[in-house]
């Protein structure tokens, strides 16, 4: 789930600025401001999710979050064009990041909880490696599909303007991201709340020792 969420995050992070600047003709500063509300959602929700994680576990958050991620991507596909109102992009991005916030932290914590304390460093290293691979693969595939979308649009509409061509390429890129979101949604139903088995074993061992002492 971490791998898939990083794919979505970095793929959308490379496509949306291109779209805002190249298709909607916003300045770089204004394009950055348009993405600020989505990141603000992450900042606000993260501590709330962290507080509720111990009570509800990861499964609930991951499933609900995957639904929001899928919904956000479907909204992007349905609204992206060279004339899309900026507010629709902002709302879609906020919904996407609601889902990503609900998926990323709980799935990472849930995975780490499976490990004994002496393997935390190894687990963290493995997760960081997966994130790096996801980032590299996600951006490369997204840009490749984006370019294919542009070329396909030019072939079908030779007189299309540059913003229209770029918007078509970004929409193609979001088809890829939506496919990843579908895989994440299906995978979320296989998420199980971690039951710190190592902590349980230690507790049972302590209980047996106490019984012997008694």
CATH number at residue 13: 1.20.1250.20
For residues 206 and 162, the model is more confident at 162
Residue 66 and residue 99 in contact, taking contact as beta carbons nearer than 8 Å: yes
Interatomic CA distance for residues 27 and 35, integer angstroms = 13
Tokens of 119: 């393997």
In angstroms, rounded to a whole number, what is the distance separating the alpha carbons of residues 178 and 8?
A: 8
Task: State the pLDDT at residue 195.
Answer: 60
CB 23 within 8 A of CB 82: yes
- Tell me if 134 sits within 8 A of 6, measured CB to CB: yes
Confidence of residue 64 (pLDDT cuts 50, 70, 90): very high
Distance CA 5, CA 62 (A): 10
> Angle, to 10 degrees, between the axis of helix 86-112 and the axis of helix 28-56?
40
Q: Which residue has the higher pLDDT, 56 or 155?
A: 155
Say if CB 174 and CB 45 are below 8 A apart: no
- The answer to whether 8 touches 69, Cβ cutoff 8 Å, is yes
Q: What is the pLDDT of residue 152?
A: 94
Instruction: Specify the number of domains making up the chain.
Output: 1
Q: For residues 98 and 185, give the distance between their C-alpha atoms in angstroms, rounded to a whole number.
A: 14
* pTM score, whole prediction: 0.85
CA dist 102 and 105 (Å) reads 7
The domain in which residue 182 lies consists of 2-213
Structure tokens at 54: 């111990």
Of 107, 106, 99, residue with least CA distance to 74: 99
């Amino acid at each position: 789930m971490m791998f898939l969420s990083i794919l979505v995050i970095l793929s959308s992070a490379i496509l949306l600025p291109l779209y805002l600047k190249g298709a909607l003709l916003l300045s770089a500063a204004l394009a950055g401001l348009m993405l600020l509300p989505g990141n603000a959602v992450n900042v606000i929700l993260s501590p709330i999710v962290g507080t509720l994680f111990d009570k509800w576990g990861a499964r609930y958050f991951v499933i609900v979050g995957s639904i929001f991620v899928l919904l956000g991507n479907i909204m992007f596909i349905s609204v992206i064009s060279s004339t899309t109102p900026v507010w629709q992009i902002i709302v879609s991005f906020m919904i996407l990041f609601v889902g990503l916030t609900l998926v990323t932290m709980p799935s990472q914590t849930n995975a780490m909880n499976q490990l004994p304390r002496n393997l935390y460093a190894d687990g963290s290293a493995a997760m960081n490696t997966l994130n790096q691979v996801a980032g590299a693969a996600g951006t490369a595939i997204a840009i490749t599909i984006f370019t294919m979308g542009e070329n396909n649009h030019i072939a079908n509409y030779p007189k299309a303007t540059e913003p229209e061509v770029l918007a078509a390429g970004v929409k193609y890129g979001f088809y890829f991201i939506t496919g990843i979101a579908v895989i994440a949604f299906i995978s979320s139903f296989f998420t199980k709340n971690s039951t710190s088995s190592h902590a349980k074993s230690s507790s049972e061992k302590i209980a047996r020792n106490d019984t012997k002492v008694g």
